[in-house]
């Protein structure tokens, strides 16, 4: 049984086709990154996975049943991008409340409260006020709330947005630990390097459809061409005249040539005596992303932002957060 199975799902808002015959299967235990430009339909797809919206067409199954059933059974944990933690309670009280609420209806083994706090790396925050935490600490508490019912599927909307590097690492350690227990993790991110490093699989969505789906390496291979770079001072002729070269850019002392035929380009460079500090690389995930979502990477200079734009998935409060309210 798949964790998520979306088949030919469509959803429109008036004239806007937000999700367009989108099919997607997430096997249990996978960690999957969902990438896509603004308005690609990620939030809408996720909201249907969480049972917050109903598709116009197609079917969505989560853990073998309807999304609603899976969510009500506490088998889905969601961490929305926004939402503050409730005030006036200590972290351990808040997470303990969520943990008890889930334990009361749990059908399978649950981690103890201590284990949950440990998993989310918040054991040292138990006595702190939940509404007076740093961004990274608050995210880990929210992650603990999403994990309180030991869900089989965890949906994280930009879990590390606006966190500093250390907090990101801490949160990823917690997410990895939860994936290590067998949960399926779906996360959206605007940090492509995060998708590259953390996901078993990357799904790129554009205009409501899946445009690429595979490992990071597979997605990079979808983009033809190579980048040949050399020491910029080595070449004394116009790079545009070299065979295969589509475009070039200079970044400090490096000259980067985007080519459809790396062999011919390198050969011509060698003939011109310009092979100095040579490097040949394939597409980066960023180039692949930009190509797959119809932004020409060749025209993208190297100052292009490291990340794509943010999702704004409003998955709503987790059951635990709602219960605490």
Q: Is 151 exposed, middle or buried (0-12, 13-18, 19+ CB in 10 A)?
A: buried
Q: Which is nearer to ligand ATP, 18 or 290 (CB)?
A: 18
Q: Which is nearer to ligand ATP, 38 or 281 (CB)?
A: 38
Show Cβ contacts of residue 213 under 8 Å, excluding neighbours closer than 6 positions.
24, 201, 202, 203, 204
Provide, rounded to whole angstroms, the least separation between the CB of residue 187 and ligand ATP: 13
Which structure tokens are listed for 118?
């440990």
Q: Which is nearer to ligand ATP, 44 or 248 (CB)?
A: 44
Site residues, ligand ATP (CB under 6 A): 13, 16, 18, 36, 38-44, 309-313
Provide, rounded to whole angstroms, the least separation between the CB of residue 45 and ligand ATP: 7
Q: Which is nearer to ligand ATP, 33 or 101 (CB)?
A: 33
Q: Which is nearer to ligand ATP, 81 or 137 (CB)?
A: 81
Q: Which is nearer to ligand ATP, 56 or 131 (CB)?
A: 56
């Amino acid at each position: 049984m798949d964790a998520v199975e979306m088949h030919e799902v469509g959803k429109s808002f008036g004239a806007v086709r937000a999700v367009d015959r989108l099919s997607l299967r997430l096997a249990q235990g996978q960690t999957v990154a969902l990438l896509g430009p603004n308005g690609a339909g990620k939030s809408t797809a996720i909201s249907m996975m969480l049972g917050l919206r109903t598709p116009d067409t197609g079917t969505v199954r989560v853990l073998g049943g309807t999304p609603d059933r899976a969510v009500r059974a506490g088998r889905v944990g969601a961490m929305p991008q926004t939402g503050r933690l409730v005030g006036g309670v200590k972290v351990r009280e808040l997470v303990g409340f969520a943990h008890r609420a889930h334990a009361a209806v749990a059908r399978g083994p649950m981690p103890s409260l201590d284990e949950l706090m440990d998993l989310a790396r918040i054991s040292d925050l138990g006595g702190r006020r939940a509404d007076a935490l740093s961004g990274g600490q608050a995210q880990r508490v929210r992650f603990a709330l999403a994990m309180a019912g030991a869900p089989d599927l965890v949906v994280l909307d930009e879990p590390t947005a606006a966190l500093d590097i250390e907090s990101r690492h801490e949160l990823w350690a917690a997410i990895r630990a939860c994936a290590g227990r067998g949960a399926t993790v779906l996360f959206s991110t605007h940090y492509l390097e995060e998708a590259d490093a953390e996901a078993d699989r990357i799904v790129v969505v554009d205009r409501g459809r899946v445009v690429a789906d595979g490992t990071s390496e597979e997605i990079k291979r979808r983009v033809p061409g190579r980048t040949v770079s050399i020491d910029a001072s080595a070449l004394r002729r116009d790079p545009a005249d070299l065979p295969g070269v589509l475009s070039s850019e200079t970044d400090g002392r490096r000259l980067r040539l985007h080519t459809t035929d790396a062999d011919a380009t390198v050969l011509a460079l060698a003939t011109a005596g310009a092979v100095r500090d040579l490097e040949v690389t394939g597409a980066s995930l960023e180039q692949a992303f930009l190509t797959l979502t119809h932004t020409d990477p060749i025209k993208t200079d190297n100052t292009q932002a490291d990340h794509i734009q943010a999702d704004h998935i409003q998955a709503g409060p987790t059951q635990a957060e709602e219960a605490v309210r």
